[in-house]
Amino acid sequence: MNIQLFSKNALVGGATQGIGAGIAFELAKCGANVTLMARNEAKLKDAVALLPVLHDDQKHQYLVVDFSDFDTFKKTITAYFNDHSVDILVNNTNGPEPGLAIEKNVEDYQKAFDLLFKTVCETTLLALPHMIKQQNGRIINVSSLSVKEPIGNLALSNSIRSAVIAWAKTLSNEVAEHNITVNNILTGYFNTARIQNLISHDAEKMNVSVEEVTKTRENKIPMKRFGKPEEYGHLVAFLASEYSAYLTGTSIPLDGGLSNVY
């Protein structure tokens, strides 16, 4: 299987590090023109410089956005789509703060809703007109295993990500006739800054070492290791390709077998 995404335009959120960076790199390696989204311009410039360029027509760029400031995000993303169109949209944002359900208030949930749901919905709705016009498109949502089984100490993420999955399934049925696919990836434990932050938070709350928490998490995974960002990119590249043209409305666990033990 030789995945070629030449002439395809991809927009990838949270793309300066971790899973987002892994996705952007693999899409570029398959020939796509990739636009990276994140809030740190210096990191964006560095990340764009690392993307492979396979041919003279392949161009990469970046867009400075802050997913946690929805009003400003909406203005920025609307301006972008006034001048650009995308064939592949990868919805990926930073996660909300960890914490217990009894610790969070309504305002916390509203902020998480703006971050995880409204940004995804707004970007997707702006991308769809071009996809419908050309009768082809790929929408890929980076989600979490927590939609299958809530993860402790992640009350905000557990709640809002489940809403995104339900919305995405609904949307997939509505746009399928236009050869637009909508799929979700349910993320397990990957070796990223996000997982390290969560591990540090858990270690502090439990008064144990980071190494102990890390080993406990790894031992729960049948493969006994965290995933690599490039492995995530491989699945996204497949979902972005014509090889996945008949696959839509799915939520695919990418977790080293972890969900099989639930």
pLDDT the model gives residue 190:
93
Distance between CA atoms of residues 163 and 230, nearest Å:
27
Residue 251 placed within a domain: yes
- The tens place of each residue's pLDDT in the chain, 262 residues long, gives 899 999 999 999 999 999 999 999 999 999 999 999 999 999 999 999 999 999 999 999 999 999 999 999 999 999 999 999 999 999 999 889 989 999 999 999 999 999 999 999 999 999 999 999 999 999 999 999 999 999 888 999 999 999 999 999 999 999 999 999 999 999 999 988 878 887 897 888 889 999 999 999 999 999 999 999 999 999 999 999 999 999 999 999 999 999 875 4
Distance between CA atoms of residues 10 and 135, nearest Å:
16
Residue 262 placed within a domain: no
pLDDT the model gives residue 205:
84
Q: Which of 199, 180, 181, 179 is nearest to 189 (CA)?
A: 199
Q: CATH number, domain at 25?
A: 3.40.50.720
User: How many distinct structural domains can be found in the chain?
Assistant: 1
Residue 4 placed within a domain: no
Residue 3 placed within a domain: no
Domain span at 137: 9-257
**What is the DSSP code string of 1-39?**
-----TT-EEEESSTTSHHHHHHHHHHHHTT-EEEEEES
**Global pTM value:** 0.93
Residue 48 placed within a domain: yes
pLDDT the model gives residue 261:
54
Query: Cα–chain-centroid distance for residue 21?
Result: 10
Residue 28 placed within a domain: yes
Residue 76 placed within a domain: yes
Residue 22 placed within a domain: yes
